[in-house]
Chains A and B, each alone.
Chain A
Amino acid sequence: MTLANGPSGTPPPPAPDGVAGAGADAWQRVHVISPLVRGWIVLVAILYFVGRDWFEGLFSAETRGRGPLPEGVGVLVAGGVLLAVVLLVAGAFLVSWYFTRYQVTAEHVRVHSGVVFRQQRQARLDRVQAIDIVQPFLARIFGLAELKFEVADAGESAVRLAFLKLDDARKLRATILARAAGVDADPDHPEEVVEAPEREVVAIPPGRVIGAAVLSGMTVALVVAAVVVVTLGVVFETPIIATSFIPILIGVVGGYWSALNTGYNFRAATSPDGIRMRYGLLDTRAQTVPPGRVQALSIVQPPLWRFKGWYRVTVNVAGYGASVSSEGQARATLLPVGTRDEVLQTLALVLPDPGTPRPVEVFAAGMAGRDGGEGFVTTPRRARWLAPLAWRRNGFAVTGTALLLRSGVLWRQLVVVPHERTQSLSLHQGPVDRRFGVSDLQLQTTPGPVSARVFLADSDTAWQLFHGQAARAAEARRRSGPEQWMKPVPVAAPPAGAAVDLPVGVPGGGPVPPSHAPGPGDGGGGSAAQGGAGVRSGDGGGLSGRSDAVPSTPGARLPGTPETPATLGAPGTQQLPGTPEALPAPGTPEPAGTPKPVETSGTAPGPVREVMPDVPRYVPAPSPSEEPADGRR
């Protein structure tokens, strides 16, 4: 579209792939007062500066008794200029508002904007990584909200619609998510998309948020600074030095405020659309992260939080990127401060299938444990001088669905990376490492606060992990659900052989091979299906005989793989390719309708979006005596 098309204001013709007639497909504009809400700071600034100048000029003219113009005319001129400036700014906002239009079609969301330099943006709905509804304080007063549509471009919102009425924003979010999920619209009422029901899972009392801020590193810094300042003041007898405390105080108070503002009233919920988080004191935000969009997750415990048993959960989501602003950090926070149970509950949302029969024990060992146990492999004793404190804690564990990386003694950290989300892996070894026979393994994930690295693992073990992880990641990618997480998959599941080499998640939403087809149990490839006792959410009745689309045996696929790396001493949770694995028994708890869209057997349609989801939950393993001998270390 060119500038010539501008002033007439005729909406552009519907896009070729637009579904005719559907309500949300029409070109629309954001709310008319949104320019004011967006630009109120500019307006206030102009009013302030102009007004101040005028005000001061008034006084100086009075005191000196020689105004350039008669009194009344001066006021009139100043008022006129002010009005003109305000009108000009408002006009500019209005024009930009007028030229900004958006449209949501069955496959895309489009935004046209710009007056002189036009911009037309189009984003595929099934590429959605997250959708936020943000309400800055002023917008809240007007009942408006901003909608942010995030794709994997590391932080910048692909589509920002500021501002819409809150209800409209919610409706639009529901529409986008329903279409992104691949839900077929009701043919009779295509524009009626109900918001997916959600079930609250975690709510954090405000008191705990304050407590967490008080127990954070900021307080320690404050105390240290206070001691230093007081000591200096006393020793050198210069009380004036106390003023240097003021900026520190301002910084710390700002930090407290930001922690409170972003953690206040935090609620996490599960819904068929994914994980939904709401929080905020003045500015409120509701984030929705669809299933399978969390690339990596870390559970951190700062030293002072240990007394209260609190943890923080942060995630890498491709749409959020690695922002250092407090807003960016808040967006990447899945749980600002939570107890162990809440952390496990949050984990269960992200990773409904933990891939181990003892999820609670394994994750607890990852969060607070040390040494081997629950499948963790730690730094070998010979390398303990490279990490005198942390060597007993540095370690990793592999479950059927994720890699767990444990590190840190004071700042305890557990990083969880689902296998299918591994981007690439690298093995590092410096000369000192070589002397001790250890190496580091780094998992690269999308930008974000979480960095996944195994420190100082035994070289052979690290290599086997490296190799096994590459195979597991490939395997998990084949099995992973489609990007459109509710797309009904083809009805008749082809036999296992027929699915071979079909690419998963074809761009363009083509037919997706069934992720879990009830094929003959191919024990050879079903490496990740071990131990369904934890949570098998919507896993098609715990069926693990799946068309794995393994073109050949893992051994042939990966030349030179050490087939059964027995040195990874944790049979309970270690699953490596090529390990013949007995098919697991069907899982015990069987929540239906959880976000994972894997109900594919027979003529069953896709999961129903309108059904209240059950909350996936990790259940502790039965008492250890009942466990099979190989269930743990």
Chain B
Amino acid sequence: MRREPIDPSGLEWSRVSPKYLRVRVIGWLIGSLVWLVLASIPLVLRLLEIWESFPPVWLAWGLPAVVLVLSAWRGLLLPRQVASIGYAERDDDLLVRQGVFFQRTLVVPYGRMQYVDVAVGPLERAYGICTLKLHTAAPATNAFIPGLPAEEGTRLREQLSARGEARLAGL
């Protein structure tokens, strides 16, 4: 299934858990709320007339409005962003893709993996998912797969380690 222009054809992408969307939505709600509160401070101060003239009214209203619009836009993108995350295990390497507008497809040969991290945050733990990160000798590799179900994360970690060992190459 070739979903996106730079996706390889004939590859079955494994998609991440739908729970990851919920985690992202919660994170997005919290983040948006914080930003909105911060951006509303001048407006509140202005309305309470503690600040008398400095931020013009349009600016005081405009700031939270802009934050709101950006947050809404990000929120609208979230489902597509999560849906765009995918990974595919091949015989020799692991493919990871992500991004809606700015797409990225990454291939990491198993033999190049130096170590594999599995990280779980509090929110992720509540939903039973985890984030897997691969490290190669190149710090720029930056390969991570978020939103894996816990058992899939464990399986993948073991699988990757085993394959990495079997195909180990130095540098």
Asked if B92 and A474 sit within 8 Å, CB to CB, the answer is yes
Task: List, in ascending order, chain B residues with CB within 8 A of A423's CB.
Answer: 108-109, 112, 136-138, 141
**From A152, A444, A559, contact of B171 by CB (8 A):** A152
Q: What's the Cα separation between A503 and B169 when bound, in Å?
A: 8
Give chain A interface residues in 401-439, CB to chain B under 8 Å.
Answer: 420-431, 434, 437, 439
**From A293, A426, A434, A560, contact of B106 by CB (8 A):** A426
Q: What's the Cα separation between A559 and B93 when bound, in Å?
A: 11
Interface string of A539-557 (1 = CB under 8 A from B): 0000000000001100001
Task: List, in ascending order, chain A residues with CB within 8 A of B166's CB.
Answer: 501, 503
Interface range, A side = 35 or more
Task: List, in ascending order, chain A residues with CB within 8 A of B106's CB.
Answer: 424-427
Q: What's the Cα separation between A445 and B139 when bound, in Å?
A: 8
A225 to chain B minimum Cβ distance, whole angstroms, is: 34
User: Which of B1-9, B35-43, B148-156 lies on the face that meets chain A?
Assistant: B1-9
Cβ of A632 under 8 Å from chain B: no
A275 to chain B minimum Cβ distance, whole angstroms, is: 16
Task: List, in ascending order, chain A residues with CB within 8 A of B105's CB.
Answer: 426-427, 466
Task: List, in ascending order, chain B residues with CB within 8 A of A562's CB.
Answer: 9
User: Which of B52-60, B66-74, B96-104 lies on the face that meets chain A?
Assistant: B96-104
Task: List, in ascending order, chain A residues with CB within 8 A of B90's CB.
Answer: 557-559
Give chain A interface residues in 431-458, CB to chain B under 8 Å.
Answer: 431, 434, 437, 439, 442, 444-447
Chain B residues within 8 Å of chain A by Cβ, number: 35
Cβ of A95 under 8 Å from chain B: no
Cβ of A318 under 8 Å from chain B: yes
Cβ of B143 under 8 Å from chain A: yes
Cβ of B107 under 8 Å from chain A: yes
**From B91, B103, B108, B170, contact of A424 by CB (8 A):** B108
Cβ of B11 under 8 Å from chain A: yes
Task: List, in ascending order, chain B residues with CB within 8 A of A501's CB.
Answer: 166
Cβ of B111 under 8 Å from chain A: yes
A residues with a Cβ closer than 8 A to B are: 127, 129, 152, 154, 293, 295, 318, 420-431, 434, 437, 439, 442, 444-447, 459, 462-463, 466-467, 470-471, 473-474, 477, 480, 483, 501, 503-507, 551-552, 557-560, 562
Given contacts A558-B90, A560-B8, 17 further A-B contacts (CB under 8 A): A423-B108, A423-B136, A424-B107, A426-B107, A427-B104, A430-B101, A430-B103, A444-B140, A446-B137, A446-B171, A477-B111, A501-B166, A503-B166, A506-B168, A560-B9, A560-B10, A560-B11
4 tightest A-B contacts by CB? A560-B10, A444-B138, A423-B138, A426-B106
A-B contact pairs, 15 of them (CB 8 A): A129-B171, A152-B171, A424-B136, A425-B107, A428-B103, A429-B5, A429-B6, A430-B103, A431-B102, A446-B137, A466-B107, A480-B169, A503-B166, A503-B167, A557-B91
